[in-house]
Amino acid sequence: MENYKKEFIEFMVDCQVLKFGDFVTKSGRKTPFFVNTGFYRTGSQLRRLGQYYAEAINNRFGLDFDVLFGPAYKGIPLSVAAAIAISEKYGADIKYCSNRKEIKDHGDKGILLGSPITDGDRVVIIEDVTTAGTSIEETLPIIKAQADVSPVGLVVSVDRMERGKGEKSALAEIEEKYGLKTTAIVTMAEVVEHLYNKEYKGKVIIDDKLKASIDAYYEKYGVK
Cβ contacts of 23-32, under 8 Å, gap ≥ 24: 25/131, 25/132, 26/131, 26/132, 26/134, 26/135, 27/131, 27/132, 27/134, 29/131, 29/132, 29/162, 29/221, 31/217, 32/210, 32/213, 32/214, 32/217
Verify whether residue 104 is a known catalytic residue.
yes
Quick one: DSSP state of residue 37? G
153, 148, 204: which is closest to 178 by C-alpha?
A: 153
One of 106, 201, 209, 224 is an active-site residue; which one? 106
**Residue 196 — φ and ψ, nearest 5°?**
-70, 120
Verify whether residue 144 is a known catalytic residue.
no
One of 26, 30, 104, 198 is an active-site residue; which one? 104
- The residues annotated with a catalytic role in the active site are 104, 106
